[in-house]
């Protein structure tokens, strides 16, 4: 059984990183291609409209998280009747939500120019774009149930492989369309149509994996209440997430211009890429934690918490170091030198607090798996409200820099003063022990890479793709030698095991002490 779990984990993580590698490679190529073909105003409008419709995620009301949790539970107990009730109730609920989202789309299409600074020449394009994207998101609600089912079954590789195909096909079609002189609306149509087709493919996969029965009689009120009890707290976190990370384009669009969104999005997009890399690993820990909590295996939960965060830190620390040291060259080579002065400060301001958050990406997944994410939801909601308020206050006197600071400050406070203390209290671990076991090794491993990159940058500044690739690969090689050379691989990546002591916290078990001694 353990061997099977390891194989599934490897398939899930491996396919996640494959999908992410394809997504980042396509994004690195496609973003500047679209930007230079469409121009700053049209590209900024693109980001703005997708940011607005991104708020449709609030209509999810946390239902997807409950699908993941209860599919995992009912699949483990082989309760086909409850599975059918869950899926039918979810599809019905999402269909109603999709109709509501469609009504919002029609209203937004009419009034979009009265809320944001839309250049007159782009007004009609903005309206068509809003209608197109909003309609796609509305249809995506009922179809998205099947993606949640695959997550609950821990079949992430199906999700990831379909994403790879979708991403590659989208890139090819967009390049062909722009090469033949097509504009923003054609690019948008390609972008929104392919996810719908992908969702249909996932539905076909689920129908082959699960013996589900579809009927209106399986739409069940008690099942809906069970989902609502869990998803209500998740909905608060969804709202908080939108306030934390999805308000920047709206604030800048309302107080500055769509062109300013472009400069902000270049820096923030690099941070998003880093976030996606870590999230692709951390996503597997929610269903794992749910299973451990259901069986009362607190030792395994501690193991997931410490080891999962250590793995996340080993991924994000070298990425952060690379962006800080080589960030100017990355932006110049990626989109052009003229964007460096405005976009690099945004990258720095957002990157540091985001790194603090991503190094603890496993923490929130553990809370979701245990169903103890209520306090997290409240804190994140307060952070999101502070983010929005500070961004509005600071954007007028300081421009996009002020907006970035408004995002960074609350995120830093949450990551430093809430997450470590709260998780350690829930799991019965001392904070100092957790910090040492989770982060001392990743910091030690990344230090030689930092020194090498600083030396290389002092020697020469990269001005083209090949020079940048040499610098990045040299740093990666140094980090790889540190990770897989002197340090035993199994010790570096082994999930730590902690046991409580006297009800006051926890001390490392003998295994973790031995591992730590070998590493140091």
Mean pLDDT per 10-residue interval, the chain, length 520 residues: 56 67 76 75 72 66 73 72 82 87 85 71 79 84 82 74 85 86 81 85 82 78 74 72 77 81 87 84 76 79 90 93 93 88 93 94 86 83 90 91 93 92 91 92 93 90 87 91 62 43 37 31
pLDDT score for 381 = 87
**Residue 473, number of CB atoms within 10 A of its CB:** 11
pLDDT score for 115 = 66
SS (H, E, C) 349-374: HHHHHHHHHHCCHHHHHHHHHHCCCH
Euclidean distance between CA atoms 203 and 194, whole angstroms: 14
Residue 412, token pair as written in the block? 């830093």
pLDDT score for 499 = 40
- Output the average pLDDT for the chain: 79
Could you give the C-alpha distances from 450 to 220, 461, 476, 483, in angstroms and in order? 56, 15, 10, 14
pLDDT score for 253 = 80
Going from N- to C-terminal start, the domains of the chain cover 1-230
492 in Cβ contact with 443 (< 8 Å): no
pLDDT score for 55 = 63
Helices 258-282, 40-54: axis angle to 10 degrees equals 50
User: b/e for 402-440, b at 16 or more Cβ within 10 A?
Assistant: bbbbbbbbbbbbbbeebbbebbbebbbbbeebbeebbbe
What does 207-274 look like in DSSP terms, one character per residue? HHHS-----GGG--HHHHHHHHHHHHHHHHHHHHHHHHHSSHHHHHHHHS-HHHHHHHHHHHHHHHHH
Query: For the whole model, what pTM was predicted?
Result: 0.66
DSSP classification of residue 500: E
CB burial of residue 208 (10 Å; 0-12, 13-18, 19+): exposed
482 in Cβ contact with 445 (< 8 Å): yes
pLDDT score for 57 = 65
Euclidean distance between CA atoms 318 and 313, whole angstroms: 9
**Residue 518, number of CB atoms within 10 A of its CB:** 13
371: left (phi over 0), alpha (psi -120 to 50) or beta: left
Q: How far apart are the first and last CA of the chain?
A: 32
CA 489 from chain centre, in angstroms, equals: 27
Euclidean distance between CA atoms 60 and 68, whole angstroms: 13
Euclidean distance between CA atoms 381 and 358, whole angstroms: 18
- Please report where in the chains the tokens 């001694």 appear, as a residue: 517
pLDDT score for 117 = 66
Euclidean distance between CA atoms 196 and 194, whole angstroms: 5
What does 259-321 look like in DSSP terms, one character per residue? HHHHHHHHHHHHHHHHHHHHHHHHTTHHHHHHHHHHTT-HHHHHHHHHHHHHHHHHHHHHHHH
Could you give the C-alpha distances from 345 to 229, 267, 319, 323, 339, in angstroms and in order? 42, 8, 17, 11, 11
Among the listed residues 418, 409, 329, the one whose alpha carbon sits nearest the alpha carbon of residue 373: 418
pLDDT score for 520 = 28
Residue 469, token pair as written in the block? 């690739």
Could you give the C-alpha distances from 261 to 281, 409, 451, in angstroms and in order? 30, 20, 34
DSSP classification of residue 337: G
């Amino acid at each position: 059984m353990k061997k099977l779990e390891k194989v599934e984990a490897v398939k899930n993580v491996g396919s996640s990183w494959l999908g992410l590698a394809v997504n980042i490679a396509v994004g690195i190529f496609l973003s500047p291609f679209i930007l230079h073909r469409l121009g700053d105003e049209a590209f900024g409008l693109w980001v703005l409209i997708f940011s607005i419709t991104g708020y449709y995620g609030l209509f999810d009301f946390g239902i997807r998280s409950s699908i993941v949790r209860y599919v995992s539970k009912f699949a483990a107990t082989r309760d086909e009747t409850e599975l059918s009730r869950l899926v039918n109730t979810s599809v019905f609920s999402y269909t109603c939500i999709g109709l509501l989202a469609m009504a919002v789309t029609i209203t937004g299409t009419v009034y979009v120019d009265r809320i944001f600074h839309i250049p007159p020449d782009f007004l009609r394009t903005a309206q068509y774009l809003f209608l197109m994207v909003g309609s796609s998101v509305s249809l995506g609600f009922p179809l998205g149930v099947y993606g949640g089912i695959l997550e609950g079954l821990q079949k992430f590789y199906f999700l990831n492989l379909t994403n790879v195909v979708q991403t590659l096909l989208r890139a090819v079609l967009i390049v062909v369309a722009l090469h033949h002189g097509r504009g923003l609306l054609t690019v948008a149509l390609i972008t929104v149509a392919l996810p719908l087709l992908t969702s249909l493919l996932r539905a076909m996969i689920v129908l082959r994996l699960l013996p589900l029965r579809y009927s209106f009689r399986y739409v069940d009120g008690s099942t809906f209440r069970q989902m609502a009890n869990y998803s209500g707290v998740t909905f608060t976190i969804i709202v908080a997430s939108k306030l934390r990370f999805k308000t920047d384009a709206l604030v800048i669009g309302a107080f500055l211009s769509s062109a300013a969104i472009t400069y902000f999005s270049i820096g923030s997009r690099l941070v998003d890429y880093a976030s996606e890399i870590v999230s692709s690993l951390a996503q597997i820990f929610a269903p794992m934690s749910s299973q451990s909590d259901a069986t009362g295996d607190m030792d395994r939960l501690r193991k997931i918490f410490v080891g999962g965060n250590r793995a996340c830190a080993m991924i994000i620390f070298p990425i952060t170091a690379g962006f800080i040291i080589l960030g100017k060259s990355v932006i110049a080579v990626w989109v052009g030198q003229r964007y460096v002065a405005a976009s690099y400060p945004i990258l720095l301001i957002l990157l540091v607090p985001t790194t603090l958050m991503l190094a603890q990406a496993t923490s929130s997944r553990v809370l979701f798996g245990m169903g103890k994410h209520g306090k997290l939801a409240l804190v994140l909601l307060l952070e999101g409200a502070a983010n929005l308020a500070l961004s509005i206050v600071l954007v007028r006197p300081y421009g996009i820099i002020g907006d970035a600071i408004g995002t960074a400050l609350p995120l830093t406070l949450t990551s430093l003063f809430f997450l470590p203390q709260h998780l350690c209290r829930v799991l019965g671990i001392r904070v100092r022990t957790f910090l040492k076991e989770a982060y001392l090794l990743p910091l030690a491993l990344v230090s030689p890479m930092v020194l090498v990159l600083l030396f290389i940058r002092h020697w020469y500044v990269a001005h083209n793709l090949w020079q940048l690739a040499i610098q990045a690969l040299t740093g990666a090689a140094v980090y790889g030698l540190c990770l897989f050379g002197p340090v035993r691989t199994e010790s570096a990546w082994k999930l730590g095991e902690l046991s409580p002591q006297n009800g006051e916290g926890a001390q490392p078990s003998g295994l973790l002490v031995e591992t730590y001694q070998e590493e140091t």
